[in-house]
Structure 1
Amino acid sequence: MTGKDIPGLQEARDTIPAGTKINVTFLGNEDLEMRVAAAKAVVEAGFVPVPHLSARRLASREQLAEFLARLQDVGAAESVFAVGGDPAEPEGPFPDALTLIRSGVLQKHGVREVSIAGYPEGHPDIPGDVLWQHLQDKADALKEQGLATVVLTQFAFDTDPVVTWIDAVRARGIDAQIRIGTPGPAGIKRLLNFARRFGIGANAMIVKKYGFSLTNLMGTAGPDRFVSDLAELLAADPVSGDVKLHFYTFGGLKATSEWARDFVASAGEARS
Structure 2
Amino acid sequence: MLSTEAALDDYSFEITARDLPALASTADRFPAGTRVNVTYLGTEDAADRLAAARAVADHGLTPVPHISARRLLSEADLTSFLDGLAAQGTHRRVFAVGGDPAQPHGPYSEAAQVIASGHLAAAGVREVGIGGYPEGHPDIDDAALWDALTLKTRLIAEQGMNAAIATQFSFDTDAVLTWIRRVRDAGVDAPIRVGVPGPAGVKRLLGFARRCGVASSATLARKYGFSLGNLLGTAGPDAFIEDLAAGIDHGVHGEVRLHFFTFGGLDATASWLERRPVAA
Query: What TM-score results when the alignment is normalised by the length of structure 1?
Result: 0.96
- The answer for the alignment partner of 1:250 in structure 2 is 263
Residue among 215, 236, 253 paired with 1:240 = 253
The one-letter code sitting in structure 2 at the alignment partner of 1:72 is A
Name which of 20, 38, 47 aligns with 2:61.
47
In structure 2, runs of 5+ residues without a counterpart are 1-14
2:147 maps to what in 1?
Answer: 133
Q: What residue is the counterpart of 2:114 in the other structure? A: 100
CA–CA distance in structure 1, aligned partners of residues 258 and 53 of structure 2: 21
DSSP 3-state at the match of 1:4: helix
**Match of residue 220, structure 1, among 224, 234, 243:** 234
Q: Which residue of 1 aligns with 2:12?
A: none
Task: Please report the RMSD computed on the Cα atoms of aligned residues, expressed in angstroms.
Answer: 1.2
Relative contact order, higher structure (CA 8 A, sep 6+) = 2
Partner SS state of residue 36, structure 2: strand
1:10 partnered with 2:24 = yes
AA of the residue aligned to 1:132: W
- Whether the aligned pair in 2 keeps the contact of 1:15 and 1:254 (CA below 8 Å) is no
Contact 1:224/1:263 (<8 A) preserved: no
The residue correspondences of 1:1-272 to structure 2 (distance < 5 A) are 1-235=15-249, 238-264=251-277
2:130 counterpart SS class: strand
User: Structure 1 stretches of 5 or more lacking a match?
Assistant: none
Kindly provide the amino acid, as one letter, of the partner of residue 122 in structure 2. K
SS in 2 for 1:67: helix
How far residue 161 of structure 1 moved from its aligned partner, in angstroms, is 0.4
Q: Structure 1 segments of 4 or more deviating over 4 A?
A: none
Whether the 8 Å contact between 2:72 and 2:105 is mirrored in structure 1 is yes
**Within 1, Cα distance between the matches of 2:176 and 2:204?**
22
Q: State the one-letter code of the partner of 2:205.
A: L
Counterparts of 2:274 and 2:147 in 1: how far apart (Å)? 37
The answer on whether the counterparts of 1:204 and 1:213 sit within 8 Å (CA) in structure 2 is yes
Equivalent position amino acid for 1:121 in 2: E
Moved more, 204-213 or 251-260: 251-260
Instruction: Provide the aligned length of Structure 1 versus Structure 2.
Output: 266
Kept in 2: contact 1:183–1:223 (CA 8 A): yes
Q: What are the superposed Cα offsets for residues 24-51 of structure 1, whole Å, 9 maximum, x if unpaired? A: 1111111111111100000000000000
Distance apart, 1:15 and its partner CA? 1.1
Q: Secondary structure at the match of 2:273?
A: helix
